[in-house]
Amino acid sequence: MNLKPIKKLIVAGTAVTAVASVVKKKIESEAIKSAYTLPDSFTVTAHSGCNGTKDNTIESLREAINSGAQILELDILDDENGNVLMTHDYESGKEYPSFEEGLRFIKENSDDIKVNVDLKRSSASFAADEIIRSLGMEDRCFFTGVNEKDVPAVASTVSIPYYINIRSSLKEMFDEEYWISVASRINALGGVGINSNFRLITKKGVEICKKNSLLVSVFTPDSETELNYALTLSPDNITTRNPELILSKRRFVK
C-alpha cells in the first residue's frame, strides 16, 4: 500500500489543527480584552505562597518566579535585634529566611520580575530600603502594607515607591466622595497608588483613583469567581495565590 497520500493528509491535518489552535487563542484573547477593560500595563502579582507553596520561603519565591507573573509578593518585619526577616508573623526563637537572602535569590534567578515588599512592621522600612539599595534592586522593588498613619515614618526612611493600604467600610466603598477624598489624601502623602482588598473597592473607586494619577492594586482574589469579579474592576494589578488562573487562561495578555 502506498502510504504517502495518507501521510500527506496527516501532515496537512496537523497543520490545520495548529492554525485552528492559534486562531482559537486569538479569538479568546480578543473576547477577554473586550470582556475586561484592562490597562495595557496590567500586571499579575504572585502572592507569597502561590500555587500551594509555603509562604515566605525560598520555595515560594522560586514558584512565583516560574509562574509567569510580572511581580511577586513577600512579607517582611524586623525582629528584636533589627534583623529584617521574610515572614508574616514573628515568633521569638523560630528560624525565618532573611529578607536579604530572599532578595538575593530573586536577583540571581530573574532579571526582570518585580518585588512587592509587604511591610508587616513599618519599623523595618529603613533597614529593608538599605538592603534593597545594597543589591541594586531599587528599580524592581516597591513597598505595600503601608497604612496612612505609617506614612510619615516610612516616607522619611525609604527611597523606593510605596502604595498605601486603604480599608473602606461597606458604606464608604459605594460613596464617590469618599474615593475622591482617598485620592486626594494618597497624593498628598506621596503614595504611587492604593492597595485594597478586592471586596472593598468598586469600579467607580478605581476610576476615581486613576483619574487622580494613582495606581490601583487589589488583593487577594484566589478562586475563579473572585478573579472574574476582580478583573471587572479594571485595576492596574491583581495579587493572587493562583496566578495561573489568569495567566494560563489568557485573561491577561501582554
Grid cell 478605581 is found at: 206
- pLDDT (tens digit per residue) in 125-149: 999 999 999 999 999 999 999 999 9
Q: What confidence tens digit (pLDDT) does each residue in 20-55 have?
A: 554 444 444 444 455 688 998 999 999 999 999 999
DSSP 98: B
Cα–Cα distances (Å) from 227 to 43, 218, 239, in that order, read: 13, 10, 10
- What is the distance between the alpha carbons of residues 180 and 176, in angstroms, rounded to a whole number? 6
Helix (H, G, I), strand (E, B), or coil: what is residue 201? coil
Please tell me the predicted confidence (pLDDT) of residue 30: 47
Give me the residues of the chain with pLDDT under 50, please: 9-10, 15-16, 19, 22-32, 253-254
pLDDT at position 195: 98
CB neighbours of residue 63 within 10 Å: 21
Read off the C-alpha cell for 172.
464608604
Q: pLDDT, tens digit, for every residue of 164-177?
A: 999 999 999 999 99
Secondary structure of residue 53 in the 3-state scheme: coil
CA-to-CA distance for 156 and 178, rounded, in angstroms?
A: 27
Q: Tell me, what's the pLDDT at 37? A: 83
Please give the pLDDT value at position 23.
47
Of residues 232, 239, 245, the one with CA closest to residue 70: 239
- Residue 57 has which C-alpha cell? 520561603
Q: List the grid coordinates of 39.
A: 490597562
Own/partner long-range contacts of 25-29 (Cβ < 8 Å, ≥24 apart): 25/250, 28/250, 29/250, 29/253
Residue 31 neighbours by CB distance under 10 Å: 11
Global pTM value: 0.85
Contact in structure between 35 and 246 (CB atoms under 8 Å): no
Q: What is the mean pLDDT of the chain?
A: 89
What cell was used for 10?
Answer: 496527516
Q: Which residues 6+ apart lie within 8 Å of 55 measured at CB?
A: 48, 49, 75, 88
In whole angstroms, give the CA distance from residue 204 to residue 179. 8
